[in-house]
Amino acid sequence: MRRPARVRGWCPGAWRPMATGDGLLVRVRPDLGRLTRAQGLALCDAAEAWGSGLIELTRRANLQLRGVSEAGWPALMAELVEQALVSADAEAERTPARLLAPDWRDGDDTHRAGRLLHDACVDNLTAWPMLPDKWGLALDAGPAPVLGEAPADLRLERSRKGGLLVRADGRDLGTPVDDIEAAVTLMTRLARWFLESGGADAGRMHRITTPLPDWAAATTAPAASGSPLRLGAHPFGWVVGLPFGRVPASTLRAALADDQVTGIRVTPWRRLLLEGRRGNINDGQPADGLIQDEDDPRLAMDVCPGAPHCAQASVATLDLARALSERRGDHPAGRVHVSGCAKGCARGAPAEVCLVGRDGRYDLMLGGRADDTPVATGLDASDAIEYLETRDASRL
């Protein structure tokens, strides 16, 4: 197998892993947002054999392994292809990411769209144009859209009256379509229109301000948003949270050990749905490393790996995030984002409190994103903790 084509940009895959501060980062995009139990167990083994032993869940519902060596990458890839976690065709991962609302059922509109787009994107690589790396589709055709905060460029949603629509990201209204086949055709046309409208330079659909073409007139509002999956019992199984989007492979393996579990569905909310699981993970299983309490303050935090895991980071993020979460119980402060640098990989939207590494210290933004203007700069970890305890930025 050839050497990895190392990527220094911001959307690595498995065939194009990213060189990070602790080795290669290898990202897996599970087809239909689901792994079988066997695939989940194989990923746990792979994380321990070739990676750091941790598995990360991204805000695009991808799974990634860190700490992979260049020498180990070919064997890891052979295993991932063998387990059908990665396509044998490297070009397949250049097709748009397809994020499915995780509670799809066999044969429903979200599932059918996922299958049709898989066929169009992966089995017929020429059917879709070559789009910017981060381009993605949200397939969200349940009664109420739930993926509105997840990154995507085109969204399949349902209108207030229950019809299907395709909505270009950044627009309030969508284009009604008669059925899933028409939705997939419209998505393909809009992807080509995006490129013709300067999309290669703009990168993302929401940055294109040109009015949509007449054949895609956006006239219809989507239904009101629904909520992310709640932790605990679900009609399909049991939902668990991953602290800061990470789980040790050994912990996930223990959660899958129960043979009533049939698979894993990934979500963009740092939560996994364990299909078939009935009952709390603590029932005879170790639960360290999984969140099962909806009030856990870590659920309100978005944290990137930071130093030393990411070469772009000048500060550690995870230790600070843990310290903040231990003190947050009495001082709720809304959403907290801790980022190793201004890229803000863990969260694109504003957060009530945002701490961003710069030159070995932290900048503080209030109600902003990682690349916004700080209200305080040059903080150390204890300053940041003090702020969250007092909510008084003037003391910094």
CA 150/CA 101 separation, integer angstroms: 10
DSSP 120: I
Among 312, 371, 372, 381, indicate the residue that binds ligand SF4 (CB under 6 A).
312
Q: Which residue from 5, 15, 3 is spatially nearest to 88, judged by alpha carbons?
A: 15
The span of 116-124, 172-180, 308-316, 329-337 binding ligand SF4 (CB under 6 A) equals 308-316
CA 206/CA 278 separation, integer angstroms: 41
Does the footprint of ligand SF4 cover residue 339 (CB under 6 A)? Answer: yes
Alpha helices in the chain (DSSP H): 37-50, 73-82, 109-118, 180-196, 199-202, 249-256, 318-327, 381-390
Q: Which is nearer to ligand SF4, 256 or 341 (CB)?
A: 341
Pairing of strands 351-358, 336-339: parallel
Among 341, 354, 364, 388, indicate the residue that binds ligand SF4 (CB under 6 A).
341
CA 93/CA 197 separation, integer angstroms: 24
Is the Cβ–Cβ distance between 117 and 98 less than 8 Å?
yes
Q: Which is nearer to ligand SF4, 322 or 343 (CB)?
A: 343
For the record, the structure tokens of 137 come out as 């589709």
Q: Which is nearer to ligand SF4, 67 or 340 (CB)?
A: 340
Q: Which is nearer to ligand SF4, 136 or 344 (CB)?
A: 344
For ligand SF4, the nearest residue by Cβ is 340
Does the footprint of ligand SF4 cover residue 306 (CB under 6 A)? Answer: yes
Q: How far is the CB of 185 from ligand SF4 (least distance, A)?
A: 36
Q: Which is nearer to ligand SF4, 24 or 304 (CB)?
A: 304
Q: Which is nearer to ligand SF4, 27 or 34 (CB)?
A: 27
Q: Which is nearer to ligand SF4, 264 or 310 (CB)?
A: 310
Among 136, 174, 263, 305, indicate the residue that binds ligand SF4 (CB under 6 A).
305
Does the footprint of ligand SF4 cover residue 344 (CB under 6 A)? Answer: yes
Rg for the chain (alpha carbons), in Å?
21
Q: How far is the CB of 313 from ligand SF4 (least distance, A)?
A: 3
Q: Which is nearer to ligand SF4, 90 or 345 (CB)?
A: 345
Q: How far is the CB of 64 from ligand SF4 (least distance, A)?
A: 11
> Coil, strand, or helix at residue 382?
helix
Distance in angstroms between the alpha carbons of the first and the last residue of the chain: 53
Among 345, 375, 381, 396, indicate the residue that binds ligand SF4 (CB under 6 A).
345
The span of 267-275, 291-299, 334-342, 379-387 binding ligand SF4 (CB under 6 A) equals 334-342
Note the residue count of the chain. Answer: 396
> Coil, strand, or helix at residue 254?
helix
Does the footprint of ligand SF4 cover residue 19 (CB under 6 A)? Answer: no
For the record, the structure tokens of 109 come out as 């509109």
Q: Which is nearer to ligand SF4, 41 or 303 (CB)?
A: 303
Spell out, one character per residue from 43 to 82, where the chain touches ligand SF4: x when CB under 6 A holds, - when not. ----------------------------------------
Does the footprint of ligand SF4 cover residue 374 (CB under 6 A)? Answer: no
Is the Cβ–Cβ distance between 75 and 81 less than 8 Å?
no
Question: What values do phi and psi take at 308, rounded to 5?
Answer: -90, 10
How many amino acids of this chain bind ligand SF4 (CB under 6 A)? 12
Chain residues 167-206 in contact with ligand SF4, contact rule CB under 6 A: none
CA 129/CA 192 separation, integer angstroms: 6
Is the Cβ–Cβ distance between 154 and 120 less than 8 Å?
no
Does the footprint of ligand SF4 cover residue 343 (CB under 6 A)? Answer: yes
> Coil, strand, or helix at residue 78?
helix
Is the Cβ–Cβ distance between 74 and 89 less than 8 Å?
no
Does the footprint of ligand SF4 cover residue 313 (CB under 6 A)? Answer: yes
Interface with ligand SF4 by CB under 6 A: which residues?
A: 304-306, 310, 312-313, 339-341, 343-345
